[in-house]
């Protein structure tokens, strides 16, 4: 699965964003990470093949998330559903 990597000065956490290309709150999540110079990887799930979509669903559910977008996973353990600035700030220490 092809993740897009967005470089940033703040790279002490592994941040993965599962997004939809059409979703406003996904765009705002990416924008928030950009503004805070956080390094992250994202994938727009609606643009994936069905097999890859299933992989994403499994990953999100395995981590205890729900199938809503955006889903942000920090350091493979903290799952943030939706664009939640407060939770992102806490998880990323910003």
- Least distance (Å) from other proteins to the CB of residue 9? 26
Specify the DSSP element, H or E, that contains 78.
strand 78-81
54 binds other proteins (CB under 8 A): yes
- Out of 21, 34, 76, 77, the only residue in the binding site for other proteins (CB under 8 A) is 21
Burial of 61 (0-12, 13-18, 19+ CB in 10 A): exposed
32 binds other proteins (CB under 8 A): no
β-partners of residue 74 are: 15, 78
Distance CA(24)–CA(49), nearest Å, equals 22
53 binds other proteins (CB under 8 A): yes
The site for other proteins (CB under 8 A) is made up of 20-25, 27, 45-46, 53-54, 57, 61, 66-69, 82, 84
């Amino acid at each position: 699965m092809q993740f897009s990597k967005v470089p940033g000065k703040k790279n002490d956490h592994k941040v993965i964003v599962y997004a939809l290309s059409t979703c406003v709150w996904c765009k705002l999540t990416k924008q928030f990470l950009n503004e805070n110079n956080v390094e992250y990887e994202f994938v727009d799930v609606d643009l994936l093949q069905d097999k890859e979509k299933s992989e994403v669903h499994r990953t999100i559910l395995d981590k205890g998330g729900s199938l809503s977008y955006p889903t942000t996973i920090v350091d493979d353990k903290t799952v943030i559903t939706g664009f939640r600035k407060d939770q992102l700030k806490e998880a990323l220490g910003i």
